Amino acid sequence: MTDPKPKSIMQSLGEFVGHIAQGIRTDPAKHEVSRTVEETRRDDGVILRRTVIEEVELRGGTKPPEPERETKDETNHARD
């Protein structure tokens, strides 16, 4: 096999700027699934806090799943 041609400095710089720009345009809240905060206060005034953030990351051409919708029957039963 032949070795691939190395990238030029300008190509590498363009890819770097493109990744930075994509990160700036991406809204991180859209990927967040849930956030849980647990807090414990001790008698000596110390507060212990644990924050768990669950996120979904889609790579490549992966499409996000469609949101689940209620059927007409489920909606009617929920009102009863």
pLDDT by residue, tens only, the chain of 80 residues: 677 888 899 999 999 999 899 888 877 667 778 889 999 999 999 999 999 988 877 777 777 667 676 665 555 554 44
Strand partners, 36: 52
Check: CB of residue 40 under 8 Å from CB of residue 48: yes
pLDDT at position 1, please?
60
CA distance 52 to 39: 12
pLDDT of 74: 52
Q: Where are the beta strands (DSSP E) in the chain?
A: 32-41, 47-55
Please tell me the pTM assigned to this model: 0.37
What pLDDT shows up at residue 80?
Answer: 45
H or E stretch at 52: strand 47-55
